[in-house]
């Protein structure tokens, strides 16, 4: 029986099935996610006999760290090896990455939700893999738990109580809304004050624009913030960059965004990777303003492209600033987001490059 990834209710049910009181499940839940104890022998508030039994009948499977790439800016890119899982969607072994990015007073962890991806965005290296497999809730959570444990001397929990902030962004490999149940199970534990206790203000799910997934997410009581990977100012451009746009064109996507129920503190984030000569003209900026005009509360993150193997080029800093200025002057908050960890290929869309070059058998990619 695998314990990692199970909710409090599932752990209670598992304990009852073993003939133990249900509250033991809550103790295991707290130990796993709040205290990050990854060995049942360490959960010392359980009776010794139960610890012995669990060590035989249950397991806590953490992915192995295959490689760590440490950047000059302090970012660490983890390459995790995931063994074959137990059901059809997880039956293949895979590798995925997460990136830990420390900065003053806060830390951000970018995690993957699938190995590979079926969505086929043309600027993304992950797309070239196709979908290898979905990740389980436990595999998604492990990408947060392991870096936090490894860096706990830098920022000790509880982070929020110290006025320090942990941000989680679901922007690594995969389209989170195409692995909905495991992603939401993991998010539920991330956001649970009795679990990992991270504020919903600090967890962001980024989608390529899977409209049924956005509509489904809108119904969830416990949910992260939502970011949309936009990257184009009209359908023609977006069709060419992100073929998913043919299925969910901008009019349909924007309607779903318009109907999305924002909380009082919340805004929708639109990510826009700046591709030189392709989507970075002043006219593009004006079209983005018109596109977003019907939405209530938005912000735009402009992401300078990092040149690599894919056939796109950088926008000049002047172009990016001009684009930002047009948005801001017309009332759309816009920010330029430079990628962290460039020297370890931890920049969006380029995480995989180093690994692809070093080992053709273990390809990993990343998304915007
Ligand atoms: S950008 Fe995201 S959704 Fe698009 S192919 Fe890459 S991983 Fe998939």
pLDDT of 118 reads 95
Q: Which residues contact 93 (CB under 8 A, 6 or more apart)?
A: 81, 82, 83, 84
d(CA 329, CA 125): 34
pLDDT of 351 reads 52
pLDDT of 359 reads 35
pLDDT at 162 over 60: no
pLDDT at 159 over 70: no
Q: Closest ligand 1 atom, CA of 127?
A: 5
SS3 (DSSP) at 314: strand
pTM for the whole structure: 0.91
Q: Closest ligand 1 atom, CA of 123?
A: 1
**Locate tokens 């049924």: which residue?**
212
Let me know: does 100 contact 147? Beta carbons within 8 Å.
yes
pLDDT of 73 reads 86
Average pLDDT of the segment spanning 104-109: 90
For a pocket test of ligand 1, which of 174, 214, 348 has the largest count of ligand atoms closer than 8 A to its C-beta? 174
**Among 23-37, 143-157, 343-357, which stretch is predicted with the lowest mean pLDDT?**
343-357
Better-scored residue on pLDDT, 117 or 163: 117
d(CA 352, CA 244): 22
Where do the structural domains in the chain lie, given as residue ranges?
A: 8-57, 64-344
**Locate tokens 């967890």: which residue?**
203
Model confidence over 248-299: pLDDT tens digits? 999 999 999 999 999 999 999 999 999 999 999 999 999 999 999 999 899 9
Task: Give me 134's structure tokens.
Answer: 């979905």
Let me know: does 244 contact 121? Beta carbons within 8 Å.
yes
Separation in Å, CA 366 to CA 115, 127, 128, 224, 255: 9, 8, 10, 20, 28
Sign of CA dihedral 184, 186, 189, 190: negative
Ligand 1 atom 1: residue of nearest CA: 367
Pick the CATH number of 8-57 from 2.40.70.10, 3.90.550.10, 1.10.150.530, 1.10.10.10: 1.10.150.530
Better-scored residue on pLDDT, 353 or 28: 28
| CB distance 121 to ligand 1 below 6 Å | yes
| CB distance 368 to ligand 1 below 6 Å | yes
| CB distance 173 to ligand 1 below 6 Å | yes
SS3 (DSSP) at 305: coil
| CB distance 114 to ligand 1 below 6 Å | no
Average pLDDT of the segment spanning 7-29: 96
pLDDT of 300 reads 97
Distance 174 CA to ligand 1 centre (A): 6
H-assigned helices in the chain: 8-17, 23-29, 48-57, 137-150, 180-191, 211-218, 235-241, 244-247, 250-258, 282-292, 317-329, 353-358
Model confidence over 306-337: pLDDT tens digits? 887 788 999 999 999 999 999 999 999 999 99
Q: Which residues contact 179 (CB under 8 A, 6 or more apart)?
A: 113, 114, 134, 135
pLDDT of 90 reads 82
pLDDT band, very low/low/confident/very high, at 366 (cuts 50, 70, 90): very low
Give catalytic residues, as residue numbers. 97, 348
Neighbours of 236 (CB within 10 A): 9
Tell me the residue length of the chain: 368
pLDDT of 28 reads 97
pLDDT at 344 over 70: no
Q: What value does the mean pLDDT of the chain take?
A: 89
Ligand 1 atom 6: residue of nearest CA: 367
pLDDT at 357 over 60: no
Q: For residue 287, which phi and psi values (nearest 5 degrees)?
A: -70, -35
| CB distance 208 to ligand 1 below 6 Å | yes
pLDDT of 120 reads 93
Better-scored residue on pLDDT, 287 or 73: 287
d(CA 202, CA 60): 26
- Class of domain 64-344 as given by CATH: alpha beta
pLDDT band, very low/low/confident/very high, at 343 (cuts 50, 70, 90): low
d(CA 106, CA 163): 9
Average pLDDT of the segment spanning 229-241: 97
d(CA 78, CA 145): 12
């Amino acid at each position: 029986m695998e314990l990692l990834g199970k909710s409090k209710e599932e752990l209670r049910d598992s304990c009852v099935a073993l003939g133990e009181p249900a509250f033991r499940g809550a103790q295991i839940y707290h130990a796993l996610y709040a205290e990050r104890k990854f060995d049942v022998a360490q959960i010392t508030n359980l009776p010794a006999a139960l610890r012995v039994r669990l060590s035989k009948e249950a397991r806590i499977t953490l992915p192995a760290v295959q490689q760590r790439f440490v950047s000059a800016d302090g970012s660490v890119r983890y390459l995790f090896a995931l063994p074959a899982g137990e059901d059809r969607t997880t039956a293949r072994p895979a590798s995925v990455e997460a990136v830990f990015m420390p900065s003053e007073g806060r830390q951000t962890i970018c995690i993957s939700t699938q190995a590979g991806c079926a969505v086929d965005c043309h600027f993304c290296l992950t797309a070239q893999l196709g979908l290898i497999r979905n990740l389980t809730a436990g595999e998604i959570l492990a990408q947060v738990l392991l870096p936090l444990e490894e860096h706990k001397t830098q920022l000790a929990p509880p982070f929020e109580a110290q006025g320090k902030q942990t941000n989680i962004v679901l922007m690594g490999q995969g389209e989170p809304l195409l692995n909905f149940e495991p992603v939401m199970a993991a998010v539920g534990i991330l956001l649970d004050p009795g679990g990992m206790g991270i504020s919903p203000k600090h967890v962001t799910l980024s989608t390529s624009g899977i409209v049924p997934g956005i509509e489904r997410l809108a119904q969830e009581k416990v949910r992260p913030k939502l970011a949309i990977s936009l990257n184009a100012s009209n359908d023609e451009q977006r069709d060419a960059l992100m073929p998913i746009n043919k299925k969910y064109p901008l009019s349909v996507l924007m309607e779903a965004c318009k109907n999305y129920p924002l909380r009082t503190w919340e805004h929708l984030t639109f990510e826009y990777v700046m591709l030189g000569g392709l989507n970075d003209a002043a006219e593009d900026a004006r079209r983005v303003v018109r596109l977003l005009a019907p939405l209530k509360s938005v912000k735009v993150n402009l992401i300078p492209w990092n040149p690599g193997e894919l056939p796109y080029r950088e926008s000049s800093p002047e172009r990016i600033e001009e684009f930002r200025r047009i948005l801001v002057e017309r009332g759309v908050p816009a920010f330029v987001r430079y990628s962290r960890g460039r020297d370890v290929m931890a920049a969006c869309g380029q995480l995989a490059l180093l690994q692809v070059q070093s080992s053709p058998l273990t390809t990993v990619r990343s998304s915007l």
